[in-house]
Amino acid sequence: MAQGALTGLRLIEMGQLIAGPFCGQLMGDHGAEVIKIEPPKIGDAMRSWGQGIPLWFSVVGRNKKSITLNLREKEGQDIVRQLVAKSDFLLENFRPGTMEKWGLGYDRLSTINEALIMIRVSGYGQTGPYSSRAGYGSIGEAMGGMRYIAGEPDRLPSRVGLSIGDSLAATYACLGAMMALHHRHLTGKGQVVDSAIYEAVLANMESTVPEYSVAGHIRERTGSILPKIAPSNVYTTTDGSVLIGGNQDSVWKRMADMMGQAELAEDPRYATHVARGENQTELDELINLWTQTLSSDAVLELCEKHGVPAGKMFRAPEMLADPHYQAREALVKFDHPQHENFVMQNVAPKLSETPGHIESIGPELGAHNEAIYGELLGMDSTKMADLEKRGVI
């Protein structure tokens, strides 16, 4: 793997889909050796996911090594223990209790390797009355409060268009792993990182809970606006739409001047933050009347000239063509054995000394069996052939 900040560390990735594997992707992007365990012949369900063409695994499986292993077999569980003895992290996102049922709970694994950091991602966490329930990201988004406030006020709650709950839980899992790694540097001992999807969503819910506990206010769906914060909305143009954020007093003054309506900045209805919030709908209508007379590019040029934050709604085509994306190498083209012009998001965040790197796309199922079982664990070819014949690997 590339020389990243986590070079020299080994992660055993168990589990499937997004909530666990995205954490593995983040760590692999920054140099960790990620050994992904997948069911023989079947593999991670992500291998068949994607809209149109199943390409998702090529992204979430990047920078990983794939081995096949039947975790329900005692011999498979014993192999996990052998890997744990040689690893820094074990990542799993099974339903709580599954690892314990297999004899792979932290109480057992820590006796093999006291420095092991076990990263556990689940819907509701490892404890509590809901812990044993099956949990998907969508349910965590609902329970964490995000789904209720997503969408238009006159419709049922909406999805944000991405598996954000899973990704947030995986990101917090990665953050927790780095904290645990520092603690290990100080003490020599590992610990358990318990990342629950609903709590990862909850952590991003701003002040929604104290707004209710203190003032009895419950946030509702508001569509594209920031309630009482104006102007900040999507406005139509002659060829599409742009998002403009001119809500700070000084920015709004420049924006009014940009629109050729400098008097609006002194108008009592719009002169202050509070006043603009109270007259948000009317102000948005005024701005929309102005933007409708210009192209999106013309609006953006004016906003840039006057120091008003603004931007287009980017899709993949706009991302690929954008000069800022190109200058920062936010996207990277990679050779794919089945598909031409395979482009995906690059490593984030950017580190100045150890920037991370994409070494490979998601590997073929079991592509690294020989390297891991033969070289790392020292199995001979006869043993591996026997395990494969019996469906253990």
- Point out the residues that are catalytic: 166
Residue 355 preceded by cis peptide, ω within 30: no
Buried b (16+ CB within 10 A) or exposed e, 320-345: eeeeebeeeeeeeebeeeeeeebebe
Pairwise CA distance, residues 147 & 165, whole Å: 10
Using CA of residue 128, residue 133, residue 138, residue 139, what is the dihedral sign?
A: negative
Token pair for residue 297? 């590019």
Cα-based torsion angle of the residue sequence 114, 115, 116, 117 in order, rounded to the nearest 10 degrees: 120
Number of residues in the chain:
393
How far apart are alpha carbons 108 and 10 in whole angstroms?
19
Distance from the first to the final alpha carbon of the chain: 24
The single-letter code of the amino acid at 76 is G
The structure tokens listed for 107 are 């109480």
Asked if residue 392 lies in contact with residue 77, where contact means CB atoms within 8 angstroms, the answer is no
Identify the helix (H) or strand (E) that includes residue 117. Answer: strand 117-122
Q: Report d(CA 302, CA 310) in Å as an integer.
A: 10
Q: What are 37's strand-pairing partners?
A: 67
